[in-house]
Amino acid sequence: MKKLCLVQLPVPPPAALAATGNVPLAAGCLGVAARVHGLEKRLQIEVVEPAATDVLGDALLADRIAREEPELVGFSLYLWNSERSLHLAREVKRRSPHTRVLIGGPEVGPDNAFILQQTGADIAVTGEAEDTFARVMSALVEGRSADGIPGVALRGPLGFNAFAPQPAANFPLTDYPSPYLADLVPVDPERSTYVETVRGCRSHCTFCFYPRSSSVLRLLDVEKSAALIAALRDRGAREVVFLDPTFNHRPEFEPLLDALIRENAARALSFFAEIRAEGLTAQQARKLKQAGFDRLEIGLQSVNRETLKRVRRGGSPEKVAEAARMLHGEGIELLVDLIVGLPGDTPEDVLRGMDFLDANGLAGEAQVFPLSLLPGTAMRATAGPDGVAFDAAPPYRVRRTATFSEEALLGTLLAAEDRLGRRLDEWPRPHLVDGGLDGFAPRQEPSAQHVALWFRAADPFTRRGEILRAIDARLRLDPYATLDVVLCPDAPFPLDLLDLIRGRLRDAPESYLSRVLGHRGEDLQRRIAVVLRGPQPPDWIDAAREKAQVFRDQSAGDALREPEELGAALPGARITGPVTAEDFSALARRAEGESVVFADEALELQWTRRVLGFSDAR
């Protein structure tokens, strides 16, 4: 019997102990499709567990996938995992040369040369893949070629051939049961549980991926949707996230809310979904709260009506404000999206959007982010004529438009941060707990997905050759792992060393994670930290902080002398030694969350949960 191994890699978190939230739903759906089409008797199906995909570094994860030399491995590609997935594909094939690799997911399509030009995969599948995947698996199990199957491209000597023409997906959602109920994806009360009751979207927003699938809605009816929620609840689900493109625009929306109210009468579940302001009524807002929706996402996107028309979004800011008032009145928290860089918008439009959010009490709930031109979107197809330049690699950020220069894009994002009084992007939090890897060890070994490589030396500069060789060894083993390079000196050292290290890290393979903060001149994947063990000249410390994050080893009591200055006028604090509950609470109240780290892993985990807000930290 042939073996199929399905892999879905997580969004890499900004902090080592923050949970990824990874649920391999797409991989599970493919496994269900293979079963439904009768392949289970000829194909052993495994979905690689998040305990492996979320924790193991590249080398160990490749070993895990290849250990039984599966005939087939499938990777679900998203913008945050595509490059690491293809690296793992190559590493699996190096360990198991007969293994054939399939790729699919939102990243795979005829307009994304960035993916198709890379090596590692043998077969590419585009679009909704359940039916297509089953046909491909049937062909491969029977020893036939998958060439000509709609939505499939095969790699030849010169690369992938063209995708065979593919009609819009039209299979009923009832054809395939939930992978949770098929025991391919476990229900984990510590993670969100994802549910689709609708596929297809009647909106035509040009920046959105959903219209690529179909404008025809296919849905689970109210009875089946309610039964699915009840079954997930009984299996231990606690938070259910609806993946429906526009939750409140599905047919029979209010009857579904009534059913959810009945199934969640004990309030064992909390729900989350994305809605649109248009058409939302006060009665629906009330029922959303009664059903268990404590948070919802709603798209403002722009306050320029002409821009909203141009990107085929429609709607109006006033409708968003009205919907927000109704939802707030019911006690529902919101995430309100505002996009920077939409064609037609200007920096002034974005700042007017900030004023609008503030005036309507939404500034604290705003998600402000730069436009990404995703594969398969209409906006990507018309980028050239529209005068939009964007990065060809994930996250496909807009670089400039006819009304936004590169400088204006960054300046507008920073101005939005000033208005909101908070950073919009994730902060690259170094992992400085005791027990990190010894950078001066004779040999570097495969390790975890996020590691800290410590170099403790009186003068690290005198050992720069050893430091660079250790970094090179680490990057060869796990090139897509998150890496903190930590220098722990006894005395000031020439800061040229930080430039040497930064240059070496920049030579490593790029990825979504290394690029996502590139507009800020930061690298979320490979970071440098300096940990001071004693007093150092203030001028030297200030100069070091221009090039790296700097922390000082100190007790909680010492940190509480000037907690408001930590990370500002003073270096951050790495807390060593015992910490009382009172001191922990005082630091949480008075210090900036990212300016305090802990040597003790249990305290770092507690801080990650309570102060940084990663409630599902591991």
Beta-bridged to residue 453, according to DSSP, are 437, 485
Condensed to tens digits (0 to 9), the pLDDT of residues 107-153 reads 999 999 999 999 999 999 999 999 999 999 999 999 999 999 999 99
Pick the closest to residue 485 from 518, 444, 516 (CA basis): 444
Instruction: For the chain, give the percent of residues with pLDDT over 70.
Output: 99
* pTM, to two decimals: 0.95
pLDDT tens digits along 236-255: 999 999 999 999 999 999 99
**Residue 618 predicted with pLDDT over 70:** no
What Å distances lie between residue 537 and 153, 543, 558, CA to CA? 61, 10, 18
Superfamily name with CATH number, domain 2-160: Response regulator (3.40.50.2300)
What's the whole-number average pLDDT of the chain? 95
**What local confidence, expressed as pLDDT, does residue 517 receive?**
94
Contact 341, 353 (CB under 8 A): no
In the chain, where the domains are located: 2-160, 187-420, 437-610
Positive/negative CA dihedral, 358, 360, 362, 367: negative
Reported as a single tens digit per residue, the pLDDT across 181-205 is 999 999 999 889 999 999 988 888 9
Choose the weakest-confidence range: 212-226, 568-582, 583-597: 212-226
In this predicted structure, what is the pLDDT of residue 19?
Answer: 81
Q: How confident is the model at residue 220 (pLDDT cuts 50, 70, 90)?
A: very high
Tens of pLDDT, residues 337-389 = 999 999 999 999 999 999 999 999 999 999 999 999 999 999 999 999 999 99
Least confident residue range of 167-171, 276-280, 383-387, 507-511: 167-171
What's the topology of domain 187-420? TIM Barrel (3.20.20)
Show the 3-state SS of 77-127: CCCCCHHHHHHHHHHHHHHCCCCEEEEECCCCCCCCHHHHCCCCCCEEECC
Give the mean pLDDT of 177-184.
Answer: 95
Q: What is the pLDDT of residue 99?
A: 98
Would 2-160 and 187-420 be classified into the same CATH topology? no
Q: Is the pLDDT of residue 615 over 90?
A: no
Helix (H, G, I), strand (E, B) or coil at 265: coil
- Could you tell me the pLDDT band of residue 573, with boundaries at 50, 70 and 90? very high
Place of tokens 């089953």: 134
Rounded to the nearest angstrom, the gap between the alpha carbon of residue 12 and the centroid of all alpha carbons in its chain is 6
CA dihedral 593, 599, 602, 607 (to 10 degrees): 0
